[in-house]
Amino acid sequence: MKKVSIALAVVVVIALGYSGWLYTGHNATSFASGSTVALEDYKAANPTGVPAELADKDLVTRGEYLSHAADCQACHTEPGGTPFAGGFAFNMPFGTIYSTNITPDKETGIGNYTDAQFLNAVHKGVRANGENLYPAMPYTSYTLMTDGDALAIKAYLFSLAPVSSPAKVSNLKWPFNQRGMLPLWNVMFNSGERFRPNTGQSPEWNRGAYLAEAMGHCGECHTPRNVAYAVNNHRKFAGTLTAGWHAYNITGDKESGIGDWDEASLFSYLHTGHAEGHGGAAGPMGEASDNSLTFLTEGDIHALVTYVRSVPARNSDLPEKVKTPASASHKEGDAVAGLDGVRGEKIFAGACMSCHEWTGVSPVTHYATLTNVRAVNDPSGTNVAQTVVNGVDRQTPQGRIYMPAFGEGYSDDDIAAVSNYVTARFGAKGATLTGKDVADLRNQASQKKAATKEAPNG
């Protein structure tokens, strides 16, 4: 009886979500003026495929580039595990699901997939055995991808060594464990259409749109979702909480978005995962940067910048960032009131000050400067706390970016205290995290780092 009524409620929720979604949210690029045409009717340039530099490379090389663009590896690799062998955990409010093995292993991977079966998975979220995938696999984005590009990726994946790695059993609460409901969801939320270029926009914009929507699936993290867990494009790129991290507003809003970033900063951020004066990528964005964006050509990054900057500004109640350094004296400046403020200060003094300084301007590397960084100016303190817990460990073409992870050595209370302190001292408004909040954030974060990750000096 109870189950039936919950199922009914779910149907109602999905229906509600659907109507809202139909209204404005279903088309990722509908914000742009101009009309769209089928790809084959678009003559200005080819917005799909690999950039010109790679056009004459073999299929596998092209597929490798595209697999980076689509960022397959980040989700299909367990921390410390073999790339593409799956096992990465998605901790969602309604349970945990694991990514699958997409190496060409015949038993546990996709070694037996035909082209048609592969396309079905990428475009429709349907496995070779007919089972529906959960939309943690971003097939509602990938559905925009051309057949040629998807099959190039397949060729690349099939060039890899097969790894035997059986799927881990997902653990979802009822009714979400009912895969049978997914076709209904798909009918409503998966357009099933390939990318349609916009003749009113530049070729560069169209390339950017293809990269952002069909490949990089930016909106999967940066666009809020509706009640039915489908991306809600009328708040396109306005930022939301994904896997315990805040994926920030990347619309042109001056206060809460990236309206105040210049072209060069955006380019640098997307190209390297860091922009001087704005801070660097950490957490899931750090992974997207290291596994995907840093592999793209400069031309493709420029295209992405053009496209992202065209998305309408949306305000998302994040305050304007503080652009001036804090005082050099620990005694001056905004602090958290009460005893825990003092505690936050002392922890900062011991564990953080060496790199971040009392001013927030790092004396050792601009990667560690806190001034004008969005996470620090987010009064929720979410990403500050996550960064303190998980640290940063990124391999970039410019070298390794490293901050130790404090999650094992410091208590939730202490991480809350120092996060509150950091946001108050260097940001717009102090966070008010409690130890319990930090515990929740830890649980939401997708997956812990491998146990014995070494620091850069050792």
Partner 1 sequence: MIHISVNGQMQMIEDGVDPKTPLLWVLRDHLNLVGTKYGCGVAMCGACTVHVDGKPVRSCQLTVGDVGTKAVTTIEGVGKTPIGAKVQAAWVEANVPQCGYCQAGQIMSAAALLSHTPNPDDSDIDAAMAGNICRCGTYIRIRRAIKNAGAKSV
Partner 2 sequence: MANSKFVESDAYFSEMIREIRGMPEAASSSTMGRRTFFKLAGAGTAGLVLGFHLPAMAATAEDAKNLTMNAFVKVAPDNTVTIYSKCPEIGQGIKTSFGLIIAEEMDADWKHVTVEQADINPKVYGSQGAGGSTSIPRNWDQLRQAGSGAKAMLVAAAAKKWGVNAADITCRDSVVTHAASGKKATYGELAMAAAKMPVPDPKSLKLKTRAEYRTYGKRNKGVDDDKVVTGQPLFGLDVQRPGMVYAHYTKCPAAGGKVRSFNEAEIKALPGVLDAFALEGTGVPAECMPGVAIIAKDTWSAFKAKDKLKVDWDESEASKDSTSAFSAQAKKAAAGAFPAEHDDNVGDVEASFANASKEGNGKVIEAYYEYPFAAHTPMEPMNTTAHYRPDGMLEMWVPTQQPDRGMAMMAKSAGLKVEQMVLHQTRVGGGFGRRLGNDYACEAAAIAMKVKAPVKLTWTREDDQQHDFFRPAGYHKFKGAVTKDGKLDAWQEHFITFTVDGKKEVSGGNLTENLKLSTKAPNLRRGKTMFPLIIPTGPWRAPGDNAQVFAHQGFMHELAVAAGKDHVQFLIDAVNRDVPDLAPKLPTINFSPKRSSDVIQMCADKIDWKKPRAKGTGVGLAWCYSHAGHTAQAVELSVDENKRIKIHRIVAVMDVGPIIDMSGSEAQGQGASTDALSTAMGLQITIENGRIKEQNYNSYPTLRMPFAPMAIDVFFIQSENPPTGLGEPAFPALAPALTNAIFAATGDRIRSMPLRNLGYSLAV
Residues in contact with partner 2 by CB under 8 A are 339, 342-343, 346, 349-351, 391, 400, 404-406, 408-411, 413-414, 451-458
How near is the Cβ of 347 to partner 2 at its closest, in Å? 8
Q: How many residues bind partner 1 (CB under 8 A)?
A: 22
How near is the Cβ of 415 to partner 2 at its closest, in Å? 12
How near is the Cβ of 422 to partner 2 at its closest, in Å? 16
Q: How far apart are CA 394 and CA 373, in angstroms?
A: 18
How near is the Cβ of 295 to partner 1 at its closest, in Å? 22
Residue 413's binding partner, choosing from partner 2, partner 1, none, with beta-carbon cut-off 5 to 8 A by kind? Answer: partner 2
How near is the Cβ of 456 to partner 2 at its closest, in Å? 7
Which residues, 6+ apart, have CB-to-CB distance to 458 below 8 Å?
none
What secondary structure letter does DSSP report for 357? T
Residue 365's binding partner, choosing from partner 2, partner 1, none, with beta-carbon cut-off 5 to 8 A by kind? Answer: partner 1
Judged by CB under 8 A, the residue of 35, 365, 395, 411 near partner 1 is 365
Entry field: residues in the chain: 458
DSSP characters over 331-346:
TSS----SHHHHHHHH
What secondary structure letter does DSSP report for 44? S
**Please, which residues bridge with residue 403 across strands?**
392
Residue 188's binding partner, choosing from partner 2, partner 1, none, with beta-carbon cut-off 5 to 8 A by kind? Answer: none
Q: Which is nearer to partner 1, 192 or 399 (CB)?
A: 399
| Owner of token pair 């003094």 | 349
Residue 33's binding partner, choosing from partner 1, partner 2, none, with beta-carbon cut-off 5 to 8 A by kind? Answer: none
Q: Which is nearer to partner 1, 111 or 277 (CB)?
A: 277
**Please, which residues bridge with residue 170 across strands?**
none
| Owner of token pair 């697999």 | 67
Q: Does 364 bind partner 1 (CB under 8 A)?
A: yes
| Contacts within 8 Å (CB) and 24+ apart, 293-296 | 293/216, 294/396, 294/397, 295/65, 295/68, 295/69, 296/68, 296/69, 296/211, 296/271
CB 389 within 8 A of CB 283: no
Could you tell me the maximum CA-CA distance found in the chain, to the nearest angstrom?
A: 66
SS3 label, residue 396: strand
Residues numbered 299-358 forming contacts with partner 1, rule: CB under 8 A: 328, 330-331, 345-346, 349-351, 353-355, 358
Residue 452's binding partner, choosing from partner 2, partner 1, none, with beta-carbon cut-off 5 to 8 A by kind? Answer: partner 2
How near is the Cβ of 47 to partner 1 at its closest, in Å? 38
Q: Which is nearer to partner 2, 12 or 450 (CB)?
A: 450
CB 427 within 8 A of CB 383: no
For residue 229, which of 120, 301, 135 has the smallest C-alpha distance? Answer: 135
Q: What angle, rounded to 10 degrees, do the helices at 382-390 and 412-426 form?
A: 130
CB 335 within 8 A of CB 343: no
For residue 259, which of 204, 208, 318, 299 has the smallest C-alpha distance? Answer: 318
Residue 11's binding partner, choosing from partner 1, partner 2, none, with beta-carbon cut-off 5 to 8 A by kind? Answer: none
Judged by CB under 8 A, the residue of 245, 402, 410, 426 near partner 1 is 402
Q: Which is nearer to partner 2, 443 or 452 (CB)?
A: 452
Residue 414's binding partner, choosing from partner 1, partner 2, none, with beta-carbon cut-off 5 to 8 A by kind? Answer: partner 2
Judged by CB under 8 A, the residue of 80, 148, 319, 363 near partner 1 is 363
Q: Would you tell me which residues interact with partner 1 (CB under 8 A)?
A: 328, 330-331, 345-346, 349-351, 353-355, 358, 363-365, 399, 402, 404, 455-458
